[in-house]
């Protein structure tokens, strides 16, 4: 197993973030925060999907005040996302935000930053210094062309916070470019011990966005970098959480359900393997089991018995039926129509 990068620990409303704790999943509500009712409904859906920390956009004082109601009813660590106006950070802290995300690219006045730091310190809440390549300070003050200048700008801001004796920090260095993002995080990882919020910003929609996020976040996690992740997709926020879970599960960092090993099918397959796997996926998700288990479903005798034998439970199909294996041993022959039922029964 790869080693996690050693970091400090921060506490986001009860969720501990840092190398000793599980990589947490977060997302951002897409509703208008001023509309507390709809935002709470979205957060509840996110929570049900497995989200552990939710960020909300604070674009004015009404949104900042709305945090109070949302927090009371949504019951999840809440992060206030602040751009441009430092006073909204202070108002959000007063409303009970569990963390503030500020973008140094658009809140750069030292005095304003000091006010935000003071307020966060008083309430003992962390601040994410959230760099986005799209809103970096102008050239000469850390303009981002590549990972290196990104890192330089981040270090300058981190120093500012440290000078104010504030170390309750988490950092992100996101770009929509996978290579730039990965280079930046790798560069900063060696130069500070603050936990990292990792993601590819504005990664796009659907499969393309999922692939981009998975490659970027996955590459960093394989390096042991990343303490909380957010997948940024254009579309429903629940799919961000589902993707984040899939990334963590694929790397065996966290387990959310049994793993399915299934073959891609070819002309040798004589059963409806895709239908069987679809049904099995639904049934396994409903189990809500975090026990690490591998279930193999294979289309024929070429690779089927080998994979089925190596899995905790597996089936290798032939014509209209298959051989069921459990912990490497043959259990029995099962008909195609009973395959899912038998696999579940023998879990
Ligand atoms: S296991 Fe059999 S059916 Fe599946 S892809 Fe391999 S050869 Fe084809």
Residue 107 pLDDT level (bands cut at 50, 70, 90)? confident
pLDDT of residue 147: 59
**CA nearest 78: which of 60, 55, 59, 95?**
55
**Is the four-CA dihedral 199, 260, 51, 205 of positive or negative sign?**
positive
Residue 319 Cβ inside 6 Å of ligand 1? The answer reads: no
Compute how many other C-beta atoms are within 10 angstroms of the C-beta atom of residue 187: 19
Candidates 260, 263, 267, 306: which one to mutate for ligand 1, based on the most atoms within 8 Å of Cβ?
Answer: 263
User: Taking 90 as the threshold, does the pLDDT of residue 134 lie above it?
Assistant: no
Q: How far is CA 101 from CA 57, 90, 106, 169, 197, in A?
A: 10, 12, 12, 10, 11
| Percent of the chain predicted with pLDDT > 70 | 96
Residue 261 Cβ inside 6 Å of ligand 1? The answer reads: no
Q: Where are the domains of the chain?
A: 10-250, 259-345
Residue 271 pLDDT level (bands cut at 50, 70, 90)? very high
Compute how many other C-beta atoms are within 10 angstroms of the C-beta atom of residue 319: 9
User: How far is ligand 1, taken at its centre, from the CA of residue 8, in Å?
Assistant: 47
User: How far is ligand 1, taken at its centre, from the CA of residue 244, in Å?
Assistant: 29
Contact predicate 97/66, CB 8 Å: no
**Burial call 63-75: b when 16+ CB within 10 Å, e when fewer:** bbbbbeebbeebe
204: left (phi over 0), alpha (psi -120 to 50) or beta: left
Contact predicate 314/276, CB 8 Å: no
pLDDT of residue 167: 98
pLDDT of residue 117: 97
189-247 pLDDT tens trace: 999 999 999 999 999 999 999 999 999 999 999 999 999 999 999 999 999 999 999 99
Distance CA 50, CA 242 (A): 8
Distance CA 132, CA 151 (A): 12
CATH 3.30.413.10 is right for the domain spanning 259-345: yes
Residue 17 pLDDT level (bands cut at 50, 70, 90)? very high
Question: Hey, what are 274's tokens?
Answer: 């895709």
Candidates 262, 265, 311: which one to mutate for ligand 1, based on the most atoms within 8 Å of Cβ?
Answer: 265
pLDDT of residue 196: 98
155-173 pLDDT tens trace: 999 999 999 999 999 999 9
**CATH number, span 10-250:** 3.20.20.20
pLDDT of residue 141: 46
Contact predicate 28/55, CB 8 Å: yes
34-81 pLDDT tens trace: 999 999 999 999 999 999 999 999 999 999 999 999 999 999 999 999
């Amino acid at each position: 197993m790869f080693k996690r990068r050693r970091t400090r620990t921060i506490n986001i409303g009860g969720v501990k973030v840092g190398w000793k704790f599980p990589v947490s999943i977060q997302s951002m509500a897409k509703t208008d925060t001023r509309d507390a009712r709809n935002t709470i409904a979205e957060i509840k859906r996110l929570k049900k999907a497995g989200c552990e920390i939710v960020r909300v956009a604070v674009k004015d004082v009404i949104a900042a005040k709305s945090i109070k109601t949302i927090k009371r009813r949504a019951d999840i660590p809440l992060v206030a996302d602040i751009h441009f106006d430092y006073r909204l950070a202070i108002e959000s802290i007063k409303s009970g935000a569990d963390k503030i995300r500020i973008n140094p690219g658009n809140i750069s006045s030292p005095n304003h930053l000091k006010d935000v730091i003071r307020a966060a310190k008083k309430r003992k809440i962390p601040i994410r210094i959230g760099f986005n390549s799209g809103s970096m300070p102008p050239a000469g003050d850390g303009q981002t062309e590549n990972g290196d200048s990104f890192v330089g700008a981040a270090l300058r801001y981190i120093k500012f916070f440290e000078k104010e004796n504030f170390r309750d920090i988490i950092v992100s260095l996101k770009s929509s470019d996978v290579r730039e993002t990965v280079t930046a995080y790798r560069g900063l990882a060696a130069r500070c011990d603050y936990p990292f919020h990792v993601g590819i910003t504005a990664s796009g929609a659907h499969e393309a966005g999922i692939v981009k996020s998975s490659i970027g976040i996955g590459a960093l996690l394989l390096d042991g970098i990343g303490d909380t992740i957010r997948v940024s997709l254009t579309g429903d926020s629940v799919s961000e959480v589902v993707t984040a879970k899939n990334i963590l599960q694929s790397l065996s960092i966290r387990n959310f359900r049994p793993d399915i090993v299934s073959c891609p099918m070819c002309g040798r397959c004589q059963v409806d393997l895709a239908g069987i796997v679809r049904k099995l996926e639904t049934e396994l998700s409903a189990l809500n089991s975090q026990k690490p288990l591998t279930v193999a479903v294979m289309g024929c005798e070429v690779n089927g018995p080998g994979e089925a034998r190596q899995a905790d439970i597996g089936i290798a199909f032939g014509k209209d039926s298959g051989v069921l294996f459990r912990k490497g041993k043959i259990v029995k022959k099962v008909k195609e129509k009973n395959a899912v039922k038998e696999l579940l029964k023998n879990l």
